[in-house]
Amino acid sequence: MSKKIKTIGILTSGGDSPGMNCAVRSVVRTAISEGIKVYGIQRGYKGLIKNEMQEMTASSVGNIIQRGGTILYTSRCPEFKEKHVREKAAQILEDRGIDALIIIGGDGSFKGAIALNEEFNIPVIGIPGTIDNDISGTDYTIGFDTAVETAIDAVDKIRDTAQANDRTFLIEVMGARSSSIAVKVGICTGAENVLLTSDKVDYKKIAADIRRGLRRGKNSSIIIVAEGEKPGRSYDIGAVLEDMHDISSRICVLGHIQRGGSPTSNDRFYATAMGQQAVLALTNNQFQHAAVVKAGKVQIVPLSDCSSKSDHALIDFIGMAESLSI
């Protein structure tokens, strides 16, 4: 089926991530160059069903490439899982004359986009944006690189004080269902242990690792904990280490600091390239697709390839981290 796309809507949905603004800028300016009108929809699907949007111009996306967050704002909109709510969204798009949507978000946001396409024949293109890097079909999601850099910077600082005080630290990084940040940060900071979201914590092993370190003169340890389903789970882990294994620790939950800040060059570059390809995909009659990064190349793939994956390929490197932290 071919359809001439004259007007598109763009929205950011789910958790924000540094670099989303770069993608918005790229989409808006590519569309304008292609003679396509763009509406910026506010606060994701929530703004769509409330008809909150305005036309974007080349200058409305000026001076945002370096800013974290999203100028379009974001939100979660659980009611969008219901068909009658999506029907309302489809009607608003029709009334506004919007022919297609570009959605920047995670796998949940993509599910909403697929439903809109399948039920109401609205062309949709996804751009993966989440710090968690937990989407299949792409090696990379916008914001992961910045979040990792932020966490590494924090861990390096904590290591200074850990060493000065002969202390063990549990440092919790984000990732409700993904250990990608934990693994990368663990490797890049030389952490003594990395606890994955899926891990049943092996307290005996952690205690043995710390004691082995002490025997060879290592006076401090850093354990990176993936947040998992219960943010703050490091406090529980620290309590068990203290009560059952006589190991005292300090806890630091890095939290939402990882979601903000100026995007790194990788996030700026790939967000910009994916934004451009997303618009070109629509002009090329690709109507239920995603712009992704695979083997260093920006490509267009079916949106159905981009579902959640609980743990990323980075997990393959966990053995390397362990073998080096002897």
- Which residues are part of the catalytic machinery? 132
Phi, psi of 71 (to 5 degrees): -65, -20
Token couple for 292: 């992704």
Decide: is 183 part of the binding site for ligand F6P (CB under 6 A): no
Rounded to whole angstroms, the Cα distance separating 310 from 293 reads 19
Among 8, 20, 104, 115, binds ligand ADP (CB under 6 A): 115
Among 38, 131, 142, 182, binds ligand F6P (CB under 6 A): 131
Among 23, 77, 170, 174, binds ligand F6P (CB under 6 A): 174
Q: How far is the CB of 247 from ligand ADP (least distance, A)?
A: 36
Residues 6+ apart with CB under 8 A from 19: 129, 142, 143, 145, 146, 263, 264, 267, 268, 270, 271
Three-state DSSP class for residue 14: coil
Q: How far is the CB of 253 from ligand ADP (least distance, A)?
A: 20
Residues 6+ apart with CB under 8 A from 78: none
Stretch that binds ligand F6P, among 55-63, 110-118, 174-182, 199-207 (CB under 6 A): 174-182
Residue whose pair of structure tokens reads 């509406």 in the numeric block: 39
Decide: is 107 part of the binding site for ligand ADP (CB under 6 A): yes
Residue with Cβ nearer ligand ADP (25 or 259): 259
Q: How far is the CB of 16 from ligand F6P (least distance, A)?
A: 7
Phi, psi of 111 (to 5 degrees): -60, -40
Residue with Cβ nearer ligand ADP (25 or 111): 111
Residue facing ligand ADP at closest CB distance: 108
If we measure between CA atoms, which residue out of 232, 225, 222, 235 comes closest to residue 162? 222
Three-state DSSP class for residue 308: strand
Question: Distances in Å between the alpha carbon of 289 and those of 17, 87, 97, 222?
Answer: 21, 21, 21, 41
Three-state DSSP class for residue 190: coil
Decide: is 227 part of the binding site for ligand F6P (CB under 6 A): yes
Pattern 35-74, ligand F6P, x by CB under 6 A: ----------------------------------------
Residue with Cβ nearer ligand F6P (130 or 220): 130
Using CB under 6 A, list all residues that contact ligand ADP: 13-15, 45, 76-78, 80-81, 105-109, 111-112, 115, 130
Contacts with ligand F6P, residue ranges (CB under 6 A): 15, 130-132, 174-176, 227, 259
